[in-house]
Amino acid sequence: DGGITQSPKYLFRKEGQNVTLSCEQNLNHDAMYWYRQDPGQGLRLIYYSQIVNDFQKGDIAEGYSVSREKKESFPLTVTSAQKNPTAFYLCASSTGLAISTDTQYFGPGTRLTVL
Amino acid sequence: AQSVTQLGSHVSVSEGALVLLRCNYSSSVPPYLFWYVQYPNQGLQLLLKYTSAATLVKGINGFEAEFKKSETSFHLTKPSAHMSDAAEYFCAVRLNYGGSQGNLIFGKGTKLSVKP
């Protein structure tokens, strides 16, 4: 089955620790995205990558870092510099082609809780 | 700048009643618009999208939305609510200019409750 997987589903972190969230897709998509979701705030874009070895900051990139060494993988690191990291994190991918019709497909999400 | 406003953070309907979830956008150029649904603790699933073809767009699970340029709206409707429709719904607009072209801007979501 083609799709997007995120792991782990639940993640607990102590304050001051870095943690990495995994996102893998087997849809052969060029573009990948990371969003943060907080109650009542919708989704906010953290980072996106339109092609391997390239990525761009989104609206709330401070305290986060990413890499895109492989087409199918786009891991997100939540660093200790992120002041309020407890949230639900969603990864998405799209073909990156045909701006008008390109659809973003979402993974199941990772819920991060800082203790 | 493009943005999306969803009116009503919570909507409650009875089973079998009409579902109407409101979405208004601001855009100086023709937008591309999307509706997604999210069930608890899950990712988002695309319901439907408007890409400048027909103004009435039909999606999955009996939902449809009508693009009205004069009202800058893209409201989501379903004639008869089912208990399984209880979820959170997000309207989104695609950026179609600038360096972030292609990225989505999401509304804050509307939680739909369905009463038996």
What are the residues of chain A with a beta carbon less than 8 Å away from any beta carbon of chain B?
4, 6, 31, 33, 40-45, 48, 50, 56, 58, 88, 90, 92, 94, 96, 99-109, 111
Handedness of CA A8, A11, A14, A19 (dihedral sign): positive
**Residue-wise pLDDT tens digits, A24-51:** 999 999 999 999 999 888 899 999 999 9
**Residue-wise pLDDT tens digits, A51-87:** 999 999 999 999 999 999 999 999 999 998 888 999 9
Residues forming beta bridges with residue A33, ordered by sequence position? A48, A92
Contacts of A6 in chain B (CB under 8 A): 43
Please give the pLDDT value at position B41.
85
Give the tokens for residue B103.
């990225």
**In this structure, which amino acid lies at residue A3?**
G
Interface test with B, best of A37, A47, A60 (most B CBs within 10 A): A37
Q: Confidence band (pLDDT; 50, 70, 90) for B116?
A: very high
Q: How far apart are CA B46 and CA B109, in angstroms?
A: 14
Please give the pLDDT value at position B103.
82
